[in-house]
Amino acid sequence: MDLSRRKRFVQNGSSPISAVRPHLEGRTEGSSAHTLEMAKADHRFGQRDGSDQNFDYMFKLLIIGNSSVGKTSFLFRYADDSFSNSFVSTVGIDFKVKTVYRNDKRVKLQIWDTAGQERYRTITTAYYRGAMGFILMYDITNEESFNAVQDWATQIKTYSWDNAQVILVGNKCDMADERVIPVEKGKHLADQLGFEYYEASAKENINVRQVFERLVDIICVKMSERVDTDPSVVSGAKTTRLSDKPTQLPQNCC
Amino acid sequence: MSDTMFGSGNHQWVCPNDRQLALRAKLHTGWSVHTFQTEKQRKTQVLNKRELDIILSVIHRAEQLDLIEQHRIGRLMERLENMRRSAVGNGLSQCLLCGEALGLLGTPSVLCFDCCKKVCTKCGIETACNQKRAQWLCKICSEQREVWKRSGAWFYKALPKYIHPEKDSFMDRRPVIEREEQPVARSVPITYTWAHRKVDSSESDSSDSELSDASSDRKTFVSASIKRRHSALSESSGSVPLTPLQSILSSPSRASFLSESHSSLGSERSSLAPAPEDEDTDQGRTSLSAPVLRRAGSQRSSSSSSSSAPATASSATETGREKNDNDDDLDRAFSAASASASASALPPPSRKEEEPDMEGYDSDDSTTLGTLDFSLLYDQENNALHCTINKAKGLKPMDHNGLSDPYVKLHLLPGASKANKLRTKTLRNTLNPVWSETLTYYGITDEDMVRKTLRISVCDEDKFRHNEFIGETRIPLKKLKPNQTKNFYNCLEKQLPIDKTDDKSLEERGRIMISLKYSSQKCGLVVGIIRCAHLAAMDANGFSDPYVKTYLKPDENKKSKHKTAVKKKTLNPEFNEEFFYEIKYTELSKKTLEVTVWDYDIGKSNDFIGGVSLGINANGERLKHWFDCLKNKDKKIERWHTLTNELPGSGFND
C-alpha cells in the first residue's frame, strides 16, 4: 500500500517540496488579499485617505452562553445570512467582522464567538476584557442554559470592563413546541440583571439583526454620553496609556 | 463539599455561580476551579493539537486585524498631533489655531469647552450637545473627542496601543501595512472627521489647505522627530494594553495549555514579519505539538531549504520600496515577490478570483466546514450528467499550516463502485480553492435521475496519510430538471450517516466473516479473517482486489496492524488467515477491534470498501460477538458482519 501511495505521488507530479510551501504562500496570499481588500474599500468610497478605513468606529462584541444554545448559528446568520442544522462545536474562539451603517456612522463590528464548553473557558474569558458589548444567549428549549444565565452574568462582571453593555437573548424561539422558558421569565431575568432582552431565532432569522443593531445603538449612546458629556475623560486622561500589568485581572484564575 | 465548590456532573461545565465564587474567595483558593484540579482533570482539559491549531489561526487572524487597527489609530493620532503642531495662536488674544487676532476689533471668538482656549468662529465647531445650549469646541478638541471615539479609548478609558505611521517604515516591514500607508494618501485632500456634516463646504476647503500646510510642515519635523519616535515606540511597546493572548500567556497557570508554546507564540506574534522567521515559527509549532508526526517534522525541516525564496521575496519588496514610493510599482514588486514565493503552486487566475472577495476574508471561519459553489446539468439527450465544480470558500483548515489541499470527489449513491467516482484535481494550500472543472457522468438514465443522489465531498489530500474528509453535500438528482443548469451554493456538512439517505448502501459494501477467540493459554486474542461476501466492486472491471486490515485500538505502539494477502479480482474472497494479539484478558475489554476491507490498487490509492468495529462501544451484532468472545474464553466464535462505510475511528489518519 505504501508503495502504491508513493506512486500516486509521482503521478500527481508534485514533489515533496511543495508540501512545505503552505506557510510562505499562505502568508503572502493572506496579506496581499488584505491590502487589496483595503485598496478596494478605499476605492469604493472614493477616499484615498488611509485613515478612514471604510469605517468610523470599531466595536468589539462577544457572544457567550452555554454550549449548543446557538451562538455560532446566530453569528453566522448575522454575518453570512447562512444557517446549517448541523452542530459543530466551536473550538475555543472565533470571530467575524461585519460593517454596519448605523446613525450615519459606519461601525465595524468584530464579533467574537466563544465556545460554551467549560474546557475552553480559559481562552474565552481572556476575550471578555476587550468586548464593548455582550450577547448573552440561552436556549428557550433548554432550562439548564437559562439557569446558567446568572452565572454568565457573573462572569461578565468578573472579567469584562465595567461599562460593557449586555443584551440577553433567548435563542431558538422558532421551536415553540419545545419551549420550556416562557418569554416572561426571560424578560424578568433580564430586568433583574439590567439587560435588554430579545427572543430570537437564528434558524428563522428572527430578531438576529435587531439584536446586533440594538447593541450597536446602546454602545453608541454610551459612547456619546461618555465623550460628549464628560470631556474630562478625554482631556484628563490624555496621557494615560493602558498599562500592560494585568492588575485588574483576577490573578488566581486558571 | 467538593460538589459545592466545583459543581458536579453536568454542572462541571457551567460557570460557577455567585455563591461558589464567594466561597472560593473566602477560602482564598482563587476564582477558578482549575486551581484545584487534579492532574487527571487537567489532562482532559489540555487542548489537543488540532484545537490548538484552530485557536492559533483565529488568534493570528485577530492579530492581523489588531495590527491594522493599531495603524489606523496611529494615523488618527498622527493627524491630531499635526493639528496641534500647526496651531500657531496662544488661545488668549489670538485664535489658538489660526493665530488671528481676537477681541473687540478683531474676529469674534468662542471659548473651547474642553481646553478653555479661545478660537475664532472658523476654527471652532458648534456641537449640539445633549444639553440644550450649544457648546463650542476648538477643532483640536473636537478632533480629540473624535479620536477618543474612533479608537475605542472612550471605552477603555485610555488610548489603545497604536503604531505611528512613520515608525513601521523602518521598524517593522510588514507587507500588509506597507502598502496601505503609502505617502500617496497624504498628498490627497483629507477630510477631517469633524468636517462630516456640521462644517460647511468653505470650511472644509480651508481645512484641506490647512492640512496640506501641516503635511508640508511635517517634512521638516519628521527628521527631528524620528529620534523621538524611536524612543516613543519602545516606550509604547512597553505600555501597551494586553491582547488576550498576551494575558493568557502572562499568567503562567492560565497558560497551561499553551505553556509549551510560549516561545513559539512569540514568533507567532511577529509572524507577520517577513519570512526568515517562518522557520522559527515552524519549529516552534512542531515543538508545541508533542504528538506531531515524525514525518510531518521532516517535512517541515525541509522547508528550511526553501526559505530562501521568501527571503528574496522580502528583499524584493524592500528594493521596490526604496526605489520608488509609487503604489503601482510596489504592487508589482510585491506581487512578483509573492508569485515567486508561491511559484506554480496555485494557478494565477484562481488567485485573482479569490482576492477581491472582501467578505471571503472577513467571514472565513474555522468552525464551519466551508461552502461549495457548483452547478449541475442533466443532458437528457446524451444521457450525461455534467457537474461543474466552481469553487469552495472558507474551507476548514486540515493541515498544520492552517490550510488544506482540497479536491472534490463525486459519488452517485446508492452504489459505491469506482466506476461512479469522479474527482477534481487537487489544489494546494488554499481554503478558497477555485477548480472550475466539469466532471461528467455518462450513461445516466432518467431512472437514475429519479433514484440516485449525487454526493459531493470535499477532501484534503495528504501525501503521507489518508486523505481527510472535510465536508460534503448531497443533491438528490430528482431536483434537477433535464437540460437546465442548476446552480448551487451549499454549506458543506459533516459526513452524513449513509443509512439515513440510502439504506441500500449498507448492504452494498458486503459482508465479512470474522472469528474471535481469547486464548488463555497463549494469553492473547486470536482474530480470524475467514471470508468476505458480496463486496462492492471498486474497479472498473466490476471486481475488487480485496484485502483485510485489522487493528486493535487503542494502539499505543502502533503495532497492532495486521494485513491479509490480497485476493485478486473477486468479490467473495476467502482469506482464512489468523492474527494473534498478545494481550491480558483484563485489558481486552477496553480494546476495540477494527477490521477494514480494502481494494488494492496499483498506482492509485487503495480504496476503502467497508469496515466493522468490534468492542464495547459497538452495538447490535458486533457488540454481541465481542461479548460472547469475552465470556467464552478459549472458544472460537465465528460471525458474519455487515460492512459499513465509515472509517472506524480516527486511526486511519494516524
Residue B265: list chain A partners with CB under 8 A. Answer: none
Alpha-carbon gap, residue B151 to A233, rounded angstroms? 14
Half-sphere exposure of B167 (CA within 13 A, CB side): 19
Q: Nearest 10 degrees: CA dihedral of B243, B249, B252, B255?
A: 110
Q: What is the mean pLDDT of chain B?
A: 67
> Confidence class of residue B496 from pLDDT cuts 50, 70 and 90?
low
Query: Has residue B628 got a pLDDT over 70?
Result: yes
User: Chain B: residue nearest A121 by CA?
Assistant: B15
In chain A, which residue's Cα lies nearest the Cα of B496?
A86
DSSP assignment string, B49-98: HHHHHHHHHHHHHHHHHHHHHHHHHHHHHHHHHHHHHH--S-SSSB-TTT
Q: Helix axis angle, B276-288 relative to A22-44, nearest 10°?
A: 120
Tell me what pLDDT residue A210 has.
93
B35 contact partners, CB below 8 Å, separation of at least 6: A252, A254, B29, B253
Interface test with A, best of B154, B302, B315, B346 (most A CBs within 10 A): B154
> A250 vs A159, A246, B32, B41, B544, CA distance in Å?
8, 8, 10, 22, 63
Q: How confident is the model at residue B569 (pLDDT cuts 50, 70, 90)?
A: confident
User: CB within 8 A of B461, min separation 6: which ones?
Assistant: B405, B406, B407, B426, B467
User: B residues 579-618 near A, CB within 8 Å?
Assistant: 598, 600-606
| Beta pairing class for A57-65 and B124-127 | unpaired
Residues in A touching B365 (Cβ below 8 Å): 76, 94, 96
Position B68, amino acid: I
Q: What is the pLDDT of residue B358?
A: 37
- The whole-angstrom separation of Cα A133 and Cα A165 is 5
Q: Distance from CA of residue B317 to its chain's centroid?
A: 27
CA dihedral A253, B2, B5, B8 (to 10 degrees): 100
Mean pLDDT computed over B328-334: 43
Q: Residue A26: which of B62, B245, B402 has the nearest Cβ?
A: B402
Question: Is B293 near chain A, with CB under 8 Å?
Answer: no
- Verify whether the Cβ–Cβ distance B152 to A98 is below 8 Å: no
Whether B565 and chain A come into contact, CB under 8 Å, resolves to no
Beta strands at B574-582 and B524-533: parallel, antiparallel or unpaired:
antiparallel
Q: Give yes or no for B14 touching A (CB within 8 A).
A: yes
- For A90, B28, B242, B245, B247, the CA distances from A120, given in Å and listed in that order, are 10, 23, 19, 14, 15
Collapsing DSSP to helix, strand or coil, A242 comes out as: coil
**pLDDT of residue B364 exceeding 90:** no
Q: How far apart are CA B288 and CA B403, in angstroms?
A: 18
% of chain B at pLDDT higher than 70: 56
Cβ-Cβ pairs closer than 8 A, A with B, add up to 368
B124: phi > 0 → left, psi -120 to 50 → alpha, else beta; which? Answer: beta
- Choose the closest CB to B58 out of A20, A92, A119: A92
**CB-CB under 8 Å, B463 with A24:** no
pLDDT reported for residue A167: 95
Phi, psi of B624 (to 5 degrees): -65, -45
Q: What is the pLDDT of residue B267?
A: 38
**What's the gap in Å between the CA of B152 and the closest CA on chain A?**
7
Residues 6+ away with beta carbon under 8 Å from B627 = none
> What does the alpha-carbon distance between residue A58 and residue A132 come to, in Å, rounded to a whole number?
10
pLDDT reported for residue A209: 93
Closest partner CB to B35 (pick from A24, A28, A254): A254
Q: How far off is chain B from A14, nearest CA to CA, in Å? A: 9
Distance of alpha carbon A148 from the chain centroid: 20
pLDDT at B324 over 80: no
CA atoms within 13 A on the CB side of A218: 19
Pairing of strands B453-460, B124-127: unpaired
Over residues B228-262, the pLDDT tens digits come to: 444 444 444 333 444 455 444 444 444 344 434 34
Q: How far apart are CA A3 and CA A219, in angstroms?
A: 62
- The amino acid present at A96, given as its one-letter code, is K
Q: Which residues of B touch A242 (CB under 8 A)?
A: 156, 158-161, 239-242
What's residue A201's pLDDT? 94
Q: What is the mean pLDDT of residues B272-288?
A: 38
Please say if the pLDDT value at position B316 is more than 70.
Answer: no
Confidence tier at B339 by pLDDT (50, 70, 90): very low
CB contact under 8 A, A84 and B368: yes
Nearest chain A residue to B141 by CA: give it.
A235
Count of beta carbons in the 10 Å neighbourhood of residue B483: 10
Short-list B481, B485, B345, B335, CA closest to B401: B345
Closest CA to A212 of A113, A141, A125: A113
Distance CA B360, CA B337 (A): 23
Contact B55 A90 (CB under 8 A): no
Q: Which amino acid is at B158?
A: A
Cα B334 to chain centroid, rounded = 24
**Predicted confidence (pLDDT) per residue in B499-526, tens digit:** 434 444 445 678 899 999 998 888 889 9
What proportion of chain B, given as a percentage, has pLDDT over 90?
Answer: 6
The pLDDT score that the predictor gives to residue B554 is 83
Q: Name residues 449-488 of chain B within 8 A of A (Cβ).
A: 463
Q: Give the minimum alpha-carbon distance from B131 to chain A in angstroms, rounded to a whole number.
A: 8
Taking 80 as the threshold, does the pLDDT of residue B392 lie above it?
A: yes
Containing H/E element for A57?
strand A57-65
Q: Which has more pLDDT, B472 or B171?
A: B472
User: For A91, phi and psi rounded to 5 degrees?
Assistant: -90, 110
What is the residue-level pLDDT of chain A in tens, covering all 254 positions?
444 444 343 344 333 333 333 333 333 333 333 433 433 333 333 333 333 467 889 999 999 999 999 999 999 999 998 898 888 888 989 999 998 888 788 899 999 999 998 888 888 888 998 899 999 999 999 999 999 999 999 999 988 888 899 999 999 999 999 999 999 999 999 999 999 999 999 999 999 999 999 999 999 998 888 887 765 656 544 444 444 444 444 444 44
Residue B41's pLDDT band (boundaries 50, 70, 90)?
A: low
A161-175, B351-365, B538-552, B592-606, range with the lowest pLDDT: B351-365
Distance CA B274, CA B268 (A): 12
- Residue A203, C-beta contacts closer than 8 angstroms, at least 6 positions apart: A73, A77, A83, A85, A172, A174
The answer to whether the Cα torsion of B301, B306, B310, B312 is positive or negative is positive
Secondary structure of residue A82 in the 3-state scheme:
coil
Query: Which range is least confidently modeled, B78-92, B343-357, B457-471?
Result: B343-357
Which chain B residue lies closest to A238 (C-alpha atoms)? Answer: B158
| CB-CB neighbors (< 8 A) of A8 in chain B | 603-605
Q: What is the pLDDT of residue A154?
A: 92
Higher pLDDT, B2 or B97: B97
Instruction: Judge whether B418 and B540 are in contact, CB under 8 Å.
Output: yes
3-state secondary structure of B463: coil
Q: Is B190 on the interface with A (CB under 8 A)?
A: yes
**Contact predicate B181/A35, CB 8 Å:** no
Phi and psi angles of residue B524, each rounded to the nearest 5 degrees, phi first: -175, 175
Task: Summarize the confidence of residues B62-90 as an average pLDDT.
Answer: 86
Report the distance separating Cα B217 and Cα B225, nearest Å: 12
- At B166, is the pLDDT very low, low, confident or very high (cuts 50, 70, 90)? low
Assess whether pLDDT exceeds 70 at residue B26.
no
Q: What is the pLDDT of residue A110?
A: 93
d(CA B328, CA B51): 40
Highest mean pLDDT among B23-32, B62-71, B441-450: B62-71
